Amino acid sequence: MRVWFITGASRGFGFHIARLALEQGDAVVATARDLSLIEKGLGTDAENLHMVELDVTSEAESNSAVAQAVAKFGRIDVLVNNAGRGFAGAIEESSDDEVRATFEVNVFGLLNVTRAALPVFRSQRSGLIINISSIGGFIAGAGGGIYCATKFAVEGISESLQAELTPLGVDVTLVEPGGFRTDFFDPSSMVFASTVIDDYTGTSGAFRKRVLLGNHQQVGDPLKAAAAIVSLATLPRPPLRLVLGTTAAERMEKKLGDVAADLAAWRHVTLSTEFDELT
């Protein structure tokens, strides 16, 4: 029996991961700001379910939640950093407060929970950290710059964590989903910049419209995504990156091709910037 610690477990990927883990006989510490949503979806009778109220932006609450998990089940085998929020708006449209609020949840919240759990993983010399990123953590576009910046940060953190934790027996996986039919585009998750600048109507404005029109129309099946994520815990060597969805794969392949083309085209400049050899 594995012990899962899941943030943002009240809906979306977090909820489905928690449900699947429970169904396969694992123990789940399900955290959210509103536990009533978890109770409604998962019930209160499961012996292996422990619910903890958690605002990931609080370092104290993160430390307490991890301590409760260990007190209840004795260990943590899988940490799923799923809690997050969306944000849409051009860079110029995004206020300082709006940007900081997005980073507080998506980056500093993830760090709070991860730092709280790392002593547990180190003492066990085992474990898996699954950070829910996004294809937006690999490629950004108009209107999504702030959100993508938070996910780019998660990618850098995760790559460093992998380098630091692999010698200690702890694995790290980034999950990079494309569009999946969750509640992510709902007002409870997606925030729009309060300022609208007409000059960006065709760029970030078009992105805002796609978000509004695309809610619950995405082609990705969240149940299949959750099953793929849960299966990571069974692998002897989980991948650093797991891309989910056809569109996500296509976008990643295009960027990799674009980067390779730029590197090849400008290689002569790239290689010309070192000191000349001393003779």
Query: Tell me: the pLDDT tens digits for 69-114?
Result: 999 999 999 999 999 999 999 999 999 999 999 999 999 999 999 9
List, in sequence order, every beta strand (DSSP E) within the chain: 3-6, 27-32, 49-53, 78-81, 86-88, 127-132, 170-177, 190-192, 241-244
Banded pLDDT at 207 (limits 50, 70, 90): confident
Q: Is the pLDDT of residue 275 over 70?
A: yes
Mean pLDDT on 151-178: 97
Q: Alpha carbon 76 to chain centroid distance?
A: 19
Q: Where are the domains of the chain?
A: 3-246
DSSP secondary structure string for all residues of 2-56: -EEEESSTTSHHHHHHHHHHHHTT-EEEEEES-HHHHHHHH-S--TTEEEEE--T
d(CA 65, CA 52): 6
For the cut 70, the answer to whether the pLDDT of residue 171 exceeds it is yes
CA distances from residue 113 to 32, 98, 109 in whole angstroms, order as listed = 12, 22, 6
Q: Give the pLDDT score at 102.
A: 97
pLDDT recorded at residue 43 = 86
Residues marked as catalytic: 133, 147, 151
In CATH terms, the fold of domain 3-246 is Rossmann fold (3.40.50)
| Separation between Cα atoms, residue 252 and residue 258, nearest integer Å | 10
pLDDT at 216: 64
Higher pLDDT, 43 or 120: 120
Higher pLDDT, 18 or 183: 18
Integer Rg of the chain from CA:
20
Q: How confident is the model at residue 277 (pLDDT cuts 50, 70, 90)?
A: confident
| C-beta separation of 201 from 142 below 8 A | no
Q: What is the pLDDT of residue 276?
A: 87
Residue 35 CA to residue 6 CA, distance in Å, equals 13
Residues 112 and 59: their CA atoms lie apart, in Å, by 5
Between strands 241-244 and 190-192, the pairing is: unpaired
The C-alpha angle with vertex 216 and arms to 173 and 153, in degrees rounded to 5, equals 30
